[in-house]
Structure 1
Amino acid sequence: MRQFEGRTLPHQLDDVEDQGLGFDLGTVFSRRTVLGALGLSGVGVALAACSPNSTTTAPTTTTTTTPTSEAVTAFTELKSETAGPYPGDGSNGPDVLELSGVERQDITTSIDSDTVAEGVPLTLTMNIVDMSKNNQPMEGAAVYIWHCDAPGRYSMYDSELANETYLRGVQITDKYGQVTFDTIFPGCYTGRWAHIHFEVFPDRASITDSTNNILTSQIALDETAAASVYALDVYGNSLSNLNNISLESDNVFSDGWDQQMAHLTGDATNGFIASIDIPIDPTTEQIQSMGGPGGNAPGGPDGMAPPQRP
C-alpha cells in the first residue's frame, strides 16, 4: 500500500495533496513537532511544506502564522448513532472487548479459532480528529469496529456464529490519529443500508466498560460499490436487500449521511480501500441521531430492540 512519511494514504489512487483535511492536519502537526525541535515554530512553515509547489528556501519570520479560522472550524462533530442489537461490547451480554487478542488489524478471522469470514477484501482507515484541541489528531484513542458478514449475520449473536468473533476488533490511534482495519465488505440485510458500526474510547484502558466510549456511530458504504460486491454468490440476498432500501428510508442515515459516507476506491475483483474522517469533541455529551421511518430495528437484521445506550 502507498505511504507518505510512514503513514498509509487513505485514498490510495489520489496524490498526496488530495488525501483530505484529516490527513493534511496529521502531516501538519507531525511536522510541527520536527520544526519545534529545530526552533522553527509556526504552522505556516509546516503548511508550506505540505504544498506540492513548496521549495527548500530557508524560512523567515514573515512565514510564521497561526492556524486560520477555516482550519479550526472545518470539521463538524460526527453524529452519534445507535450501537444496534449486536455490539458485542458487554452492554447487552457478549463482550469481545474482554478477550485477549481483540486488538488487531486483521479482523477477518475469529480470535480463538481459524474461522474466516469470506467476502471481498476491504481496508478501512479512520482518521480520528480531536475537535477540542484545534482539530489535532487524537493519539492513543481506542477504536472498536464491528459489522455483519457477507450473508448479513453478526458473530457472537447469530445462532450459527455464537462461538465466533470475526469482523470485530480494536486498534489504537497512532500519532496521526489513524487506525486501519483489514476486513471484508459487509453484506446488506433486510431493512438496513450497508454499514459498519464503531465506538471510540479515549484510551486502551477504557474499553473494559462500554459506557466509557466518547462516540458511537456508523459508517455508510457506497451504493455502486455495494451492488458490484453483492452480485457475488457469497453475499446471498444482499443485492435484493440493497435494492429494497435507500439512504433516504434507512432508519439511521435518513437524517443525513454525507459525513458518514466512506471514501471508496477499488473494485469487487481486487478489493476496496475506504477512508473516513471522524471528528469528535470529547468534552461534549453524545446526542444520538435517529433517522426517519423505514427498516427494522436500527443495526440488526431481525428486528431485535437495540440495547439502551448512555
Structure 2
Amino acid sequence: MQALASRRRALRWFTGAGTAAVLAACDGGSSGSGTTSVSATPTPSPAPTSTPTPTPTPTATASGSCVADPTETNGPYPADGTNTASGLTSNALTASNVVRSDIRSSFLGSATTVAAGVQVTLTLTLVDVNTGCAPLAGYAVYIWHCDRDGKYSLYDLPSESYLRGVGVTDANGQVIFSTIFPGCYAGRWPHIHFEVFSSLTTATSGRYASLISQLAMPAATCSTVYATASGYTSSLSNLSGVSIARDNVFGDNSAAQVAQQTPTMSGSVEAGYTATAVIGIAR
C-alpha cells in the first residue's frame, strides 16, 4: 500500500508540473501579467506570403478597335419613320427590298438610277464592348448617305431612293455594303449615317434603334477623291471650309471615338476603295 501511495504522489507531481509548463507556454505571447513564464522552445511562425497584385482586366480601347460609339443625330434625311420625307416614302425601313448589300441603285417605285461616284466596299464589324469586344451576330444595320453632289435621296431627290440599305451581321458581327464615296456639302464633314437594331424584326423605325451614329470619312481619302475623281468638284471647295474639330457632330467626341468612327480605307479612285470600321455597342 505504501508503494502504491508513493506512485500516486509521484504521478500527481509529474501531472502538475506538465500542466504548469503548458499553461506557461500558452501565456508566453501575452504581456503585463507580471509573471515570469517558463521557457519553452517557440514554434516558428510561417513566413509571411505576399499576395500577388491582380492583373487588371484590360479595358477596351481604340487601339484595340473597341470603344462604344457615341450617339449622334440621324440628321434631317433619315427616311426611318422619324420625320416626313418629300419622296416616295418617309420610312424606307418598311420596304420589302430594303435589305441589300449593294445600295448604289434606287429600289423604290419605278426608278432604277445608279448613283455615280467612286466605288467603296464598306465592311462594318459590330461588337459588344462589355464582353471583350465579342462580335454581335444577327443585328440589323441601316446606312444612308448623300451622293457625290451632296444630295440625299427621298429628300433633295424625291424620286430616288439610292444610297440606302439594310444589312444583317453574320457570325463574325460583320455586314458588307457596296456604295460610293459620299460628297461633301457645306457645313458638314463628309460622313455616312447608320442605325443599329438588335434584329431585323426591330428594324422598322429609327425609334427602335439600339444606336444611331455616323462615320467620318478619312481626310486623306477625301482630299484625293475630291481633287481627282469626276463629279466631286463642289465637294473639294466645300471640304476646305470644314474640319473634324469644328464639325457639329464629330467635334465634341474624344480622340478615341473619332478614331473608331473613321473607317480605314485603301485603294484608288480608279480601282475603288475598301473600307473597314468597327462599331462598338455597350449592351
Distance 1:250 1:141 in 2: 29
Bigger radius of gyration: 2
Amino acid at match of 2:282: D
Preserved CA contact (<8 Å) 1:129 1:177: yes
1:241 to 238, 243, 255: 238
Cα deviation digits, residues 151-191 of structure 1 (max 9, x gap): 00000001xx2021100000000000000000000000000
Aligned counterparts, 1:291-310, within 5 A:
none
1:115 to 113, 116, 121: 113
In structure 1, the residue matched to 2:67 is 76
In structure 1, the residue matched to 2:272 is 271
2:225 to 223, 229, 243: 229
Amino acid at match of 1:253: F
Distance 2:176 2:57 in 1: 30
1:136 CA drift (Å): 1.3
Q: Identity over aligned residues, as a percent? A: 46
2:149 to 148, 151, 154: 151
Unpaired segments ≥5 residues, structure 1: 1-67, 283-310
Distance 2:210 2:271 in 1: 35
Preserved CA contact (<8 Å) 1:225 1:268: no
Matched, 1:255 2:258: no
The alignment partner of 2:203 has SS state of helix
In structure 2, the residue matched to 1:167 is 163
Distance 1:246 1:185 in 2: 18
> Which piece of structure 1 moves more, 71-80 or 249-258?
71-80
In structure 2, the residue matched to 1:87 is 78
Distance 2:239 2:186 in 1: 8
Preserved CA contact (<8 Å) 2:101 2:177: yes
Distance 1:153 1:199 in 2: 19
Unpaired segments ≥5 residues, structure 2: 1-55, 85-89
The alignment partner of 1:226 has SS state of helix
How many residues are treated as equivalent by the alignment? 214
The alignment partner of 2:202 has SS state of helix
Preserved CA contact (<8 Å) 2:143 2:164: yes
- C-alpha spacing 1:132/1:70, structure 2 compared with 1 (3 Å): closer
The alignment partner of 1:91 has SS state of coil
Preserved CA contact (<8 Å) 2:264 2:277: yes
In structure 1, the residue matched to 2:16 is none
1:131 to 126, 129, 132: 129
Q: Normalization by structure 1: what TM-score?
A: 0.66
Distance 2:264 2:141 in 1: 19
Amino acid at match of 2:245: E
In structure 2, the residue matched to 1:215 is 211
Preserved CA contact (<8 Å) 1:201 1:212: yes
Preserved CA contact (<8 Å) 1:110 1:165: yes
1:242 CA drift (Å): 0.4
Preserved CA contact (<8 Å) 2:117 2:230: no
In structure 2, the residue matched to 1:45 is none
The alignment partner of 1:87 has SS state of coil
The alignment partner of 1:148 has SS state of coil
Distance 1:224 1:277 in 2: 19
1:72 CA drift (Å): 6.2
Distance 1:198 1:240 in 2: 26
